[in-house]
């Protein structure tokens, strides 16, 4: 009979190798995915093989959401059916509406989004059903309702009446309508729509990996999305777009920008909106988002933000050779569209629901519990001393 070594003992021996530790899991490939990839040969983020800039140029967000979930761009009939289902599911329950109405007005909208998804889990009859079909239905419901939740809170905290969603508006148009009571110029709607496409998915980032880790325990989709939202809130992830706008507000005017950035570099401060772990030659999403940010700036007759942007970008490239990331143009773009700063990351949620839920479904399809190890560096074996002898 073979001498069978227990799996845990093999793992323990490997764990003791000094070179095994990879802080932040840098460079570690933990699984496979067919959803997205940053392709170095074309320096582009791709969804199911399509470069995002091409998708932004030729598709609306609804088409891209369908692509991320189903693997292919929809034809006319498929898109019509998808849009009908999404629009039919926009309404939120009276119960959830009342809960939002009673939330403290000072609450961060990310916390509102996280709580709302938990409430949706309580209301959804398929919460515990992790079949592919049920998960797809739940993904669509969360996707359709999150904008309604955020729109409702946006109004409530300003002392205004909640505006219910309209079925005859596109996904992007409807969000503006629920927040502001009107739909802006088509160029602004398009810029917003483009931002949703660019934020929809981005591989095994922190929030997506969080969602997959939760899913790996065979937890439910709502729980995994809730965890992803909590992860996205952090300033080193989704919250960076808020920090970018706070930074620009702090600088105040273009004539102060150069001095500010030079001092920040000199003092080795963290400058939000620059650098990315995945991209070495610049975030491939930035040129597209920057183009639309500048369009919005022109429409809104902006005299400061686009100039501050240009100065910070040029100095960082010249002195540090660090490119801006997606958060750098999206932050000021959302500000000029009229959104409050603390709503920037929730808009990220509106988009990333697509990527998260696609990864949750993919994780379920070939699941294995995600259970990494840690190298212990604490106290060695000690004996317990009785209380009266300590």
Residues 307, 309: Cα–Cα separation, whole Å: 5
Q: Is 276 a catalytic residue?
A: yes
pTM (two decimals): 0.91
**Which two three-digit tokens encode residue 138?**
């739940």
Q: CATH for 240-337, among 1.10.230.10, 3.60.21.10, 3.40.50.720, 1.25.40.10?
A: 1.10.230.10
Instruction: Give the total residue count for the chain.
Output: 390
Instruction: Give the count of beta carbons closer than 10 Å to the beta carbon of residue 298.
Output: 12
Is residue 67 within 8 Å of 50, Cβ to Cβ? Answer: yes
pLDDT in tens, 114-143: 999 999 999 999 999 999 999 999 999 999
Distance CA 227, CA 356 (A): 10
Map out the domains of the chain as residue ranges: 36-235+342-365, 240-337
Q: What value does the mean pLDDT take over residues 306-311?
A: 95
Q: Which of 193, 283, 302, 327 is catalytic?
A: 327
Single out the residue of 320, 317, 324 nearest to residue 288, CA to CA.
324
Domain 36-235+342-365, classified CATH 1.10.580.10, yes or no: yes
Catalytic pick among 276, 292, 335, 359: 276
Spatial distance between the Cα atoms of 284 and 134, rounded to a whole number of angstroms: 34
**Catalytic choice (108, 237, 340, 342):** 237
Helix 221-232 and helix 132-156: axis angle, to 10°? 50
Residue 73, helix vs strand vs coil: coil
Neighbour tally for 44: CB within 10 Å: 17
Contacts 24+ apart (CB under 8 A), 82-85: 85/140
Enter the DSSP assignment of 32: -
- What is residue 117's predicted lDDT score, i.e. its pLDDT? 98
What is the average pLDDT score of the chain?
A: 92
CB 49 within 8 A of CB 41: no
pLDDT value of position 19: 58
First to last CA, the chain: 51
In this predicted model, what pLDDT tens digit does every residue of 75-108 receive, in sequence order?
999 999 999 999 999 999 999 999 999 999 999 9
pLDDT in tens, 193-247: 999 999 999 999 999 999 999 999 999 999 999 999 999 998 888 888 899 999 9
Residues in Cβ contact with 141 at an 8 Å cutoff, skipping those fewer than 6 apart: 89, 120, 124
Q: Answer yes or no: 202 catalytic.
A: no
Contact between 20 and 375 (Cβ < 8 Å): yes
36-235+342-365 and 240-337 share one fold? no
State the pLDDT at residue 343. Answer: 96
Spatial neighbors of 136 by CB under 8 A, at least 6 apart, are 69, 361
Collapsing DSSP states into helix, strand and coil, what is residue 44?
strand
CA atoms of 143 and 163, how far apart (whole Å):
18
């Amino acid at each position: 009979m073979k001498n069978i070594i227990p799996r845990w003992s093999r793992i323990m021996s490997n764990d003791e190798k000094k070179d095994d530790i990879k802080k932040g899991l840098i460079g570690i490939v933990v699984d496979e995915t067919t959803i997205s990839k940053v392709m170095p040969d074309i320096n582009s983020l791709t969804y199911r093989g399509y470069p995002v800039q091409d998708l932004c140029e030729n598709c609306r967000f609804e088409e891209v959401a369908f692509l991320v979930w189903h693997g292919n761009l929809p034809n006319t009939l498929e898109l019509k059916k998808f849009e009908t289902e999404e629009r039919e599911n926009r309404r939120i329950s009276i119960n959830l509406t009342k809960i939002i109405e009673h939330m403290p007005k000072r609450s961060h909208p990310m916390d509102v989004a996280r709580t709302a998804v938990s409430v949706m889990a309580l209301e959804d009859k398929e919460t515990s059903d992790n079949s592919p079909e049920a998960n797809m239905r739940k993904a669509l419901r969360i996707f359709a309702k999150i904008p309604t939740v955020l729109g409702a809170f946006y109004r409530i905290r300003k002392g205004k009446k909640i505006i219910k969603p309209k079925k005859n508006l596109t996904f992007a148009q409807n969000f503006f309508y629920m927040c502001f009571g009107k739909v802006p110029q088509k160029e602004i709607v398009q810029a917003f729509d483009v931002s949703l496409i660019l934020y929809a998915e981005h591989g095994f980032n922190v929030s997506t990996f969080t969602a997959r880790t939760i899913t790996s325990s065979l937890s439910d989709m709502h729980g995994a999305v809730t965890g992803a939202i909590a992860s996205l809130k952090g300033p080193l992830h989704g919250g960076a777009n808020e920090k970018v706008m706070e930074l620009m507000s702090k600088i105040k005017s273009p004539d102060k920008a150069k001095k500010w950035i030079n001092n920040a570099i000199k003092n080795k401060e963290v400058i939000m909106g620059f650098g990315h772990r995945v991209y070495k030659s610049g975030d491939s999403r930035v040129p597209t988002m920057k183009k639309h940010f500048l369009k919005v700036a022109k429409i809104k007759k902006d005299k400061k933000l686009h100039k501050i942007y240009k100065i910070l970008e040029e100095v960082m490239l010249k002195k540090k050779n660090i490119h801006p990331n997606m958060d750098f143009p999206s932050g000021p773009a959302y500000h000029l569209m009229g959104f409050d700063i603390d709503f920037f990351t929730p808009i990220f949620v509106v988009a990333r629901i697509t990527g998260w839920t696609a990864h949750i479904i993919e994780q379920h399809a070939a699941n294995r519990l995600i259970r990494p190890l840690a190298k212990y560096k604490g106290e060695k074996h000690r004996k317990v001393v009785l209380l009266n002898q300590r």
